[in-house]
Chain A
Amino acid sequence: DAMVIQNPRYQVTQFGKPVTLSCSQTLNHNVMYWYQQKSSQAPKLLFHYYDKDFNNEADTPDNFQSRRPNTSFCFLDIRSPGLGDAAMYLCATSRDRGRSQPQHFGDGTRLSIL
């Protein structure tokens, strides 16, 4: 089945140690998104790619970066994780930009900071 796959499901890193989360998709969708979801809170959009065009949300900290080397893969890099970055990180895709396009989500990666 076509899907959005996030690896790993659980990631533990040390305070200040760079970490990378990955997302791949077999849907051949043009748009890929990264959301941060802290405990008992709503998912919050960090940024998205439309093809190779990167779109950052205004309130996304500089500590968060993203790469999309090809259509299928997208990475979330946290350069110096702080305790406040512990969260579930959700990757999503949509076929194209467009107001009613549904987003398809992966299972998420739960990030813990020691």
Chain B
Amino acid sequence: AQTVTQSQPEMSVQEAETVTLSCTYDTSESDYYLFWYKQPPSRQMILVIRQEAYKQQNATENRFSVNFQKAAKSFSLKISDSQLGDAAMYFCAYRSGGNFGNEKLTFGTGTRLTIIP
């Protein structure tokens, strides 16, 4: 079974600075997908960024980028120019690239990010 580990329960960063959230995973599969989701306080979880394992190029979405190291099974999220609205719980998630029907997202336990004004 796949596991996802987020070793930083809490992080904080000064507004406008850069912060990196770490995520490691364990799998024996070669085809899979990785996601970062953001869950603001009392609000719904939303997708921040996703990465296909077969793509070597790191995904980027505006101020959000990932450092995907497949051999090391590491998938960190970098947030540049942090803004107050980035304050949230961030979840790393893994999804198998297998056949249809394997719809399970395996989540890490999350990192709570605080933005310091």
Contacts and interface: CB of A to CB of B under 8 A. Distances in A.
Tell whether A pairs with B. yes
Interface of A: 4, 31, 33, 40-45, 48, 50, 55, 57, 90, 92, 94, 97-100, 102-108
B64 interface: no
Interface string B64-100: 0000000000000000000000000001000111101
B44 A98 contact: no
Contacts of B105: 43, 45, 103
A40 B10 CA distance: 12
Given A33-B103, A55-B103, A99-B33, A4 B50 contact: no
Given A43-B105, A108-B44, 6 more contacts: A4-B44, A42-B107, A50-B100, A55-B103, A97-B101, A102-B35
Contacts of A43: 45, 91, 105, 107
